[in-house]
Amino acid sequence: MLDTHGRKYISPLFKGAANIFLSLNMTANSITIIAFIIGLLPFAFIYADKPLIAVTLLWVSGFLDAVDGEMARVSNTSTPWGTLMDITFDRLVELGIILAMALKEPQSRMQLLFLTAAIVLSMTVFLTVGALSQNKGSKSFYYQAGVAERTEGFIFFTLMILIPAHLQLVTGIFSIVIVITALQRLIEARRILK
């Protein structure tokens, strides 16, 4: 929801960073890979009880994840391979956070398992609708807006990392929001895929 409705307010920041990286002869795919590497680092910092560093790295990774797409659009170099890397790396970063939390907070593993299942469900709907729909957006696939998009996910992951005493509650709410998003996308899919 925040990505869809709030992006117009922070888009100049992404465009500015994209133009800087392009002026340095960097490609969108290189920024995707850098974002991925930075996004994997929170795993180690969560495990080492350095939550502020973990959260900072997570958000830097997310920022670069938005910038790479902007670079591809500005330079007209968007490719299916770049889209595949972007979506795959996003899920691996999320799984890294979930695995780190499961190692640190074993009493919350069941809730983290439900969260993972909810993400799989939502992404299955999202990607299937994207594959079956005509491209209707600036991205290289049909983008279904939802209650839980990337920014909401980062907010919930931040809460999970910073307040592990309430991990089960935060993870439970996060899972419910993702399931609501999946249902919302299914309802939309029923309408557009007839």
19 has pLDDT over 90 = yes
Q: Which position has the token pair 């398992």?
A: 113
The per-residue pLDDT for 190 is: 87
For a pLDDT cut of 90, what percent of the chain falls above it? Answer: 75
Residue 4, CB half-sphere, CA atoms under 13 Å: how many? 10
Closest CA to 179 of 156, 157, 146, 155: 146
Q: What is the mean pLDDT of the chain?
A: 91
Tokens of 6: 């709030």
3 has pLDDT over 70 = no
User: What DSSP line would sit under 60-101, residue for residue?
Assistant: HHHHHHHHHHHHHHHTT---HHHHHHHHHHHHHHHHHHHHHH
CB atoms within 10 A of CB 48: 12
27 has pLDDT over 90 = yes
Q: What is the mean pLDDT of residues 19-34?
A: 97
> Cβ(28)–Cβ(173) under 8 Å?
no
Could you tell me the domains of the chain? Answer: 2-192 (1.20.120.1760)
46 has pLDDT over 80 = yes
Q: Is the pTM of this model over 0.85?
A: yes
The per-residue pLDDT for 141 is: 58
> Cβ(93)–Cβ(39) under 8 Å?
yes
Helices (H), 105-166: 109-132, 150-162
Q: What is the mean pLDDT of residues 78-106?
A: 96
**96 or 150: which carries more pLDDT confidence?**
96
